[in-house]
Structure 1
Amino acid sequence: MNIDALKSLNTPAPTGWTPGVQWDGEQGFVTTQPSADPDTPRDERWDEVLQRFGLDPERYMVDGPVRHSAWDVPGSGVQHSHRAKIVERPERTFDVEDLLDTIWTDVAYPDNPRAEWRTIQIGDTHLAKGALDGGGTDKLIARWQNSVTEALGLGDHYEGIHLAFMGDLIEGEVSQGGANIAGNDLTLTESLRVARHLVSWTVQEALKVGNEVIVSAVGGNHGQTTRVQNRPHTDNHDIDVVSAVQQAFELSGLDERITWYYPEEGANHVVYEVGGTVFASTHGHTFKGGPVAGAAKWWSGMCASNRPAAAAQVLMAGHFHSPVIQNFTSDKWICFGGALEDQSTWIHEQNGTTSKPGMLTYVTRDGEPFEFSIV
């Protein structure tokens, strides 16, 4: 065989990149045919790929990150192939695009300045938790928007709005060893997309009534990326959602009146100042011994070891799905926010527990919170 014939031979794709579908009845992968196009296929292109391999795009969809492989074929240039996870589309009575459209509504607020800061604790929203499990994303979106607009409309124009994103913004796919996935009405990527829209909308609404806006984010247990092995607390979808929104505001030049706070790498709480009041924020899943007793023990330890949280006047937390306000000491307050679901079906079937859906909001001035309300 001469050299020209050798050059004309196709170089096989890398091992594991054979075009086609692998499906085990619950999940699988689809790999595209090699081509000279390096671009990742869009949704409609994936639908064509699935259809070509015998999967109905109405029933199956691509979810999660897409892997890309490239290799050189002598005489034909670089060839590209893409590999993506496929899942069954969740059963639901709504369309995701329609839900996103409902988020962006115009709301008018009063315009009488106040010298205080308003805090809204936004956590345990569990977007993608299905109706049978006590949620329903369409209901959770409506409750999120109603809570925010009511909180921002309780008073007048404020010195500033403090938005504390307390974790568990999405239901995620790690709870109960992943068993909760069956009850989700959004895929992971869809839930993250909806969460980013809602956080972005919330920040924009806050800018309408506050001279300044302070945003913080901590990670919840449902926002964890995996439980297969231990990961840093900051490797969390909740933090990534808010960080992506920050990037969007910075790129659009709309962040001049916004300050953003996140935990230090590996930490699961953050401490910062809001208009003369020092806050410590954490999700609360690391507390042992119940909400108030666990928070008090955690905070006492922080104070005893002179950690930054010792300087806080308000400790914010979530996780327990019930609003609790405790005057810890004369100048320190423990504030647990609520959840957007009215019950966790799993817990309700064990002991009948329900909860009032809503967000905890209050006003602070010179280190003291007041005017508490669940909206």
Structure 2
Amino acid sequence: MTLDLDKLKSLATPQRKEWEPGMRWDGETGYVTTAPISSEEGAPTSEVWNHVLDEFGLDPARYVIDGPVRQSAWTVPGHGLQRSYRARIVERPERRFDIEDLLDTIWADGEYPDNPGAEWRTIQIGDTHLAKGSLDGGGTDKLIARWQSSVTEALNLGGHYEGVHLAFLGDLIEGEVSQGGANIAGNDLTLTESLRVARHLVSWTVQEALKVGNEVIVSAVGGNHGQTTRVQNRPHTDNHDIDVVSAVQQAFELSGLDERITWYYPEDGTNHVVYEVGGTVFASTHGHTFKGGPVAGAAKWWSGMCASNRPAAAAQVLMAGHFHQPVIQNFTSDKWICFGGALETQSTWIHEQNGTTSKQGMLTYVTRDGEPFEFSIV
């Protein structure tokens, strides 16, 4: 068959079909596509996205852009480079909470058995992610209930103690820096509200511990969700998690209720703290300090601390969070690695990556003479 080049040349060139603006919404999720935007205008700002949503009949107060934005670019003769943007839209989580009512639910009195004991009760409290919305595996009302039930159950396990050790291991709040701030859309509390709730819960927890312990030791380290910003590097101690606990300490000191409480925090430039609890030496940090998985990363970090004779070398128990999975590892004959769990139903982000879930709750155990025992997830 012979091709007639003259006829082929005379055929009309079909007009290029560009990416047309539009919206698709199925009642739960969907996509919105902008009209062409000149390259000089740049990517749409949040105000522009709100205007686009409004144009397609979606109330920006109810719907929000979620996740990465896809773009398409092409050249138009006489108009230069044009771009169009396509983004996923989701319904904003319903703000169902009156913050004062939410705080009132925290202050219910708990009763505990009065049996004398010589042990220290440790409760590892981390990855509570207050303000994480229900679509992301949380729901602040549920997280508060789980926090309180976990603490109450832990303090009920053995009656009265020589002391209670409360280790706050970071990520107490969901914060607003994860995923470049994209997680904000799923939060069901503002940042200031989540900090208020966290301070109330920490204060309640300390007061409950005082009911069953002759002494209470409190420590706090900063988690990655507690970071104040990721725009630039900040000191490890510039962290909402540490600020929450230190604010509670100040309240106890001002009220004169701190006589039986000792508080520990990392020194400037560090994100771990080492201290003694009833004859047992603890090292406390958040798991994002480690490189690698929980046990392998913690073991490498601790080995390095031991090799360089850092204070953590003296610890008998290394506590951490971050991985949302309870893990207990007898590192050496006299050293233990203890990762706590999380309170959420699941981390939707982690679950979508690999399907991982874990048991909800806090890790608690008893220590005597440098050895932990009677481990429980409560």
Partner SS for 1:103: coil
Separation in structure 1 between the aligned mates of residue 364 and residue 244 of structure 2, nearest angstrom: 22
Partner of 1:150: 153
Instruction: Please say if 1:165 is aligned against 2:134.
Output: no
Shift of 1:238: 0.1
- TM-score, with normalisation over the residues of structure 2? 0.76
Partner of 2:349: 346
Match of 1:302 among 300, 305, 327: 305
* Equivalence map 1:286-301=2 (5 Å): 286-301=289-304
Structure 2 residues without counterparts, runs of 5 or longer:
1-45, 51-60, 63-91
Match of 2:263 among 240, 249, 260: 260
What is the identity, as a one-letter code, of the residue corresponding to 2:349? W
Separation in structure 1 between the aligned mates of residue 371 and residue 258 of structure 2, nearest angstrom: 27
Partner SS for 1:162: strand
Partner of 1:108: 111
Shift of 1:355: 1.5
- 8 A Cα contact 2:319 2:339, kept in partner: yes
Separation in structure 1 between the aligned mates of residue 168 and residue 276 of structure 2, nearest angstrom: 15
Partner SS for 2:150: helix
Structure 1 residues without counterparts, runs of 5 or longer:
1-22, 28-57, 60-88
Separation in structure 2 between the aligned mates of residue 152 and residue 25 of structure 1, nearest angstrom: 52
- 8 A Cα contact 1:90 1:187, kept in partner: no
What is the identity, as a one-letter code, of the residue corresponding to 1:263? P
The number of equivalent residue pairs is: 294
Partner SS for 2:117: coil
Shift of 1:90: 6.3
* Equivalence map 1:175-324=2 (5 Å): 175-324=178-327
Percent identity between matched residues is 92
Separation in structure 2 between the aligned mates of residue 308 and residue 289 of structure 1, nearest angstrom: 22
The structure with more radius of gyration: 2
Q: How far does the alpha carbon of each residue in 1:55-82 deviate from its partner, in whole angstroms, 9 at most, with x for none?
A: xxx99xxxxxxxxxxxxxxxxxxxxxxx
Partner of 1:130: 133
Q: How far does the alpha carbon of each residue in 1:68-127 deviate from its partner, in whole angstroms, 9 at most, with x for none?
A: xxxxxxxxxxxxxxxxxxxxx963223221110000001100001110000000000000
Q: How far does the alpha carbon of each residue in 1:189-226 deviate from its partner, in whole angstroms, 9 at most, with x for none?
A: 00000000000000000000000000000000000000
Q: How far does the alpha carbon of each residue in 1:292-320 deviate from its partner, in whole angstroms, 9 at most, with x for none?
A: 00000000000000000000000000000
Separation in structure 1 between the aligned mates of residue 317 and residue 241 of structure 2, nearest angstrom: 21
- TM-score, with normalisation over the residues of structure 1? 0.77
Partner SS for 1:310: helix
Q: How far does the alpha carbon of each residue in 1:117-154 deviate from its partner, in whole angstroms, 9 at most, with x for none?
A: 00000000000000000100000000000000000000
Separation in structure 1 between the aligned mates of residue 347 and residue 272 of structure 2, nearest angstrom: 25
Shift of 1:351: 2.0
- 8 A Cα contact 2:162 2:214, kept in partner: yes
